[in-house]
Amino acid sequence: MLFGSGKLLGAAVVAAVTLGSCGGGPTPKTVDNADAALAPSVCQRDQTREFFCDGLLSGQGAPAPYENCPAGIELPAGGYPAKGSVARFDARYTEWARQRAKPGHACCYSWCADVRVADPADVLPYAGCTGPEVISDAYCMAELEAGTSAPAPDPLQRCPIAIQPPEAVSFAVPRAVPLDTAATQARRQQNDPACCYNWCSPKPPGM
């Protein structure tokens, strides 16, 4: 899994979270911009990196040995508000994706998005998981490269202690959800530097 998961995620959002979601859905337009072939810039404080992978085989090429990958694509839909309008070719993530699904031909792209860091005081008791009419929700995202204004204790200090999750991953978006340290540590043991969150949403009417 690359990063993030949720019951209502579209392909682009899930690609920011899971390798199994690479591809699927409409393919963004390629962007003929040689500068986009450069390594993506580091995300700023309170920003996470989101990803999109697909079998793109046209457009102005990325650096060798990924010449068949466009250097950039029109920004796909993600989880959080994105910075900029172009998703740049991400060689490191592409190699990771190809190793996970051999013989890999995926082309992967990444961009930075503003995380909604939340106040831990706004987290519901037991993350709202009380009563029978609730649904368990979960979301994982890439750890914040430049850190966060509300860090969890070491060694998870690049994960916000609480966030407001993206609308696409929750049946009812709460004000704040807590970092799930157990799920986050489990991902770290799989060499996946993610920050994972778990909470419960009220069941939608009719379910």
Q: Show me where the domains of the chain are located.
A: 11-114, 120-202
Q: 162 and 119 in contact (C-beta within 8 Å)?
A: yes
Q: Which amino acid does the sequence have at 43?
A: C
Residue 4 has pLDDT above 60, yes or no: no
- pLDDT for the residue numbered 100: 83
Q: Which of 97, 99, 98, 8 is closest to 51 using CA atoms?
A: 97
- pLDDT for the residue numbered 197: 97
Tokens representing 139 are 């979301």
CA trace torsion 11, 14, 18, 24 (10° rounding): 0
Per-residue confidence band for 207, with pLDDT thresholds at 50, 70 and 90: low
Q: What is the pLDDT of residues 44-70, one digit of tens each?
A: 999 999 999 988 766 666 777 888 888
* Backbone phi and psi for residue 161, each to the nearest 5 degrees, phi listed first: -70, -25
Tokens representing 30 are 């390629």
Which carries the bigger pLDDT value, residue 146 or residue 205? 146
- pLDDT for the residue numbered 117: 97
Q: What is the mean pLDDT of residues 4-33?
A: 42
Distance of CA 99 to the CA centre of its chain: 19
Adjacent-strand bridge partners of 61: 70
